[in-house]
Amino acid sequence: MRALPSAAALVLAAGLAGGTAPLSAQMGMQAGSPPHAMQGAVVLKAARMLDVASGRMIPNAMLVVEGGRITAVNPSSTPDGAHVVDLGDVTLLPGFIDAHTHLASEISASSFTEAVTQTPADATLGAVKYGQRTVMAGFTTVRDFGGDATVAYGRAVERGDVAGPHVIPSRSSIGVTGGHCDVTGFAPGIAEQDWREGVADGVDEVLKAVRYQVKHGAQVIKTCATAGVLSMEGPVGAQQYSQEELEAMVEEAARHGLKVAAHAHGSEGILAAVRAGVASIEHGSMLTDEIIAEMKARGTYLVPTTYLVDRIPMDALPAVVRAKAEYVLPFARASVAKAIGAGVKIAFGTDAGVYPHGENAGEFAIYVRMGMSPLDALRTATLNAADLLGKDDRGVLAEGKLADVIAVAGNPLDDIGATKDVRFVMVGGRVVKHVGGGMGGH
């Protein structure tokens, strides 16, 4: 296992490399002692910093970080002995939040047999690999739907054992027998699941399923309110849980202080989930005026996952799955545009894993193309996503917040594509990426 070095050591390594730091330095890893947080105060300097709350671009920015938190923003003086990291001509931003990822896997031609060919250990190793890609892309928090693997991975990140984003895991998604959250397409007796793995029918089993996920690490409950694309069951938009079952799920989750995220494509299932009180609709492929009105009245978020429309590998899909994708994805893109135009609350989410991990920032440009300003697009992955996750300790660069800080080349308010060029990433005060730059002094 390799350790997370101090900011000073990492920046020095980058400077000695003469531009781009070697992979070990970019990943914030070095051989030797166990991982550790940085000691003492660190001052980050940059040409610009975006205040996502006010929308102001602040020149000649400076952040002071100590103990994993931001302790000062543009102070008149800096702590004695602080390490000064001058990042140069970049824009400081809050670390991005992706509210819909699947870190344990990535779609391929073998994805539809992995349920019977791979083990939980394979999924955990995948989470480490894909989580590192994600954090290197500037995403410092994810809400992930990936089973025990990402529960364990998230704990390892918080201990400092591995590099990666903070993980808000759901453990197993909850759905009906034979539905989108079940393992479908195999003969009877193969990969059968029950409420422990989230396959639950009727109110009583739904309650047990929620409680079991919470017992084993869930920080959010995910349900499949409708059928879906990447499964072998029937029509992609068909409602799968009744109103009574959805309401029981939301009520039980709330008892544990958790929110419910509802995968939902078809209109009837979306409306049922919104009326049941879910916090967010994932995908929302077939929105109607009635649904939009309900979402706005209740403050329900839409998590669009729309970048995947351009990047899903159609040739890797079985014929029945590809037919569903080709049917529903045009509706999905139109629904996102409609929701943005109507002022539905949007939280950034990508379904990463359905397309290659690390490309998460591609979602921003789609929002801007559909009518969002670059600032509002950035807010979906900062202020809005933090609000959806119930995490008021992140999503903005301000005193007292987690030191989840990234830097991108250029000005993303002028060109949202700058979000793809991430030069620096800090997660909870640990530097995990620094490309170029050098030591600014003490």
Contacts of 436 (CB under 8 A, 6+ apart): 14, 19, 20, 21, 88, 423
Instruction: Please determine, for residue 127, whether its predicted confidence score (pLDDT) is greater than 90.
Output: yes
The per-residue pLDDT for 117 is 84
- 214-257 pLDDT, tens digit per residue, is 999 999 999 999 999 988 888 888 999 999 999 999 999 999 99
Q: Which two tokens stand for residue 138?
A: 């500037």
- Between residues 36 and 178, which one has the greater pLDDT? 178
Asked if the model's pLDDT at residue 135 lies above 60, the reply is: yes
Using alpha carbons, select from 44, 69, 30 the residue that is nearest to residue 400: 69
Is the pLDDT at 48 greater than 50, yes or no?
Answer: yes
Number of H-type helices and E-type strands within the chain: 14, 18
Average pLDDT over residues 367-387: 98
Helix (H, G, I), strand (E, B), or coil: what is residue 223?
A: strand
Q: Are 55 and 43 in contact (CB under 8 A)?
A: no
Q: Which amino acid is at 96?
A: F
Distance in angstroms (rounded) separating the CA atoms of residues 346 and 292: 12
Output b/e per residue, 77-93; b: 16+ Cβ within 10 A. ebeeebbbbbbeebbbb
Q: Cα(102)–Cα(118) distance, rounded to whole angstroms?
A: 16
Domains, the chain? 2-94+395-441 (2.30.40.10), 96-389 (3.20.20.140)
Say how far apart CA 96 and CA 429 lie, in whole Å: 15
Are 221 and 254 spatial neighbours (Cβ–Cβ below 8 Å)? no
pLDDT value for 37: 55
Question: Lowest-pLDDT range, 151-160, 316-325, 344-353?
Answer: 316-325
Residue 358 neighbours by CB distance under 10 Å: 19
CA–CA distance, 172 with 210 (Å, rounded to integer): 9
User: What burial class does residue 216 get, using C-beta atoms within 10 Å of its C-beta: 0-12 exposed, 13-18 middle, 19+ buried?
Assistant: middle
Q: Please give the average per-residue pLDDT across 318-342, as a whole number.
A: 94
